Structure 1
Amino acid sequence: MDRREKDQFYLVREDVLSEAMTKTLEAKTLLETGKVKTVNQAVQSVDLSRSAFYKYRDGIFPFQTMVKEKIISIAIHLDDRSGSLSELLTVIATLGCNILTIHQTIPLQGRANVTMSVEIASAREDINGIIKELDRLEYVRKVNIIGTGA
């Protein structure tokens, strides 16, 4: 395997990761937050072998750690309801995000697609938290991250 192949990254949903990989992430979080002081304490806390931890520790990262830019582009499928876009924008502002661009399609079949670029540098939540908050809104049908960048 050449260096180029080794340095490729993939975005993978958590439920398809192996148990050892998710436990490695948990152990790394314990170490980074200072809840434990040693690798041995971290792996014991999550019931993981030290060898599995060392195997995966440099190869698996939470999504928000890999996103160095603080701008994300998101696509949202929104019900065509009076005030839904306004409420969505209010929620985004309440989360501490800054909307840089926004585009809404003409509603068809009761739905509109909204695409926006959002600066998240001052957000109260990480990327996953922001997406979960938006997904909880009753008029939001789907939220997807479509890109990151500066």
Structure 2
Amino acid sequence: MEKINFYLINASIVPDIYKKVIKAKSLLASGEAKSASQAAKMADISRSAYYKYKDAIFEYHGDDSNDTATINAKLMDNAGVLSSLMAELYKAGANVLSVNQSVPIHSVADVSVTVRIAEMAISKKELLNSIEKIDGVNSVVLS
């Protein structure tokens, strides 16, 4: 099998057709376009050009792995504890990406919350401290 090579190229020198294919893919992904035909039309390219390049060109978003963190906590099965945790995240400026909660066992539920932390107004340590102070949070780990 032939090895596939990739290149990272400055967008200012990329031919317009590639930029339009990226736009069409974005329109489809966001739901603004309901079909490939509609996306191609909205991006001002032919359907055949879209299909020719759609699997070969991708937009680079950089390494944003440092922008996310996962909070693992053990919460008491009391009304409002998870809501209080979410309120702390909101106050800190964290953007919640996903929430997973197990069924409570012996009145304790494991919760995993993945957040985008790039725009947070406080440090990770301050966030951890504020979550630990919530009534009903037994333990919390930030990774």
TM class by shorter-chain length? 0.5 to 0.7
**Separation in 2, partners of 1:88, 1:144:** 13
**Separation in 1, partners of 2:106, 2:94:** 30
Task: Flag the structure with larger Rg.
Answer: 2
Name the amino acid aligned to 1:137.
Answer: I
Runs of at least 4 residues of structure 1 off by over 3 A? none
Q: Deviations over 1:78-126 (max 9, x none)?
A: 0100121112111111111111011000011011110011111111111
Aligned to 1:100: 97
Q: 2:72 aligns with which of 72, 75, 92?
A: 75
Unaligned runs of 5+ in 2: 1-64
Q: What are the equivalent positions in structure 2 for 1:34-113 lying under 5 Å apart?
A: 69-113=66-110
> Residue 133 of structure 1 aligns to a residue in which SS?
helix
1:127 aligned to 2:127? no
Aligned to 1:114: 111
Instruction: Give the number of equivalent residue pairs.
Output: 79
Q: RMSD of the TM alignment (CA)?
A: 1.2
> Residue 99 of structure 1 aligns to a residue in which SS?
strand
Aligned to 1:143: 140
Could you tell me the percent identity over the aligned residues?
A: 24
TM-score in terms of structure 1 length: 0.50
Aligned to 1:17: none
TM-score in terms of structure 2 length: 0.53
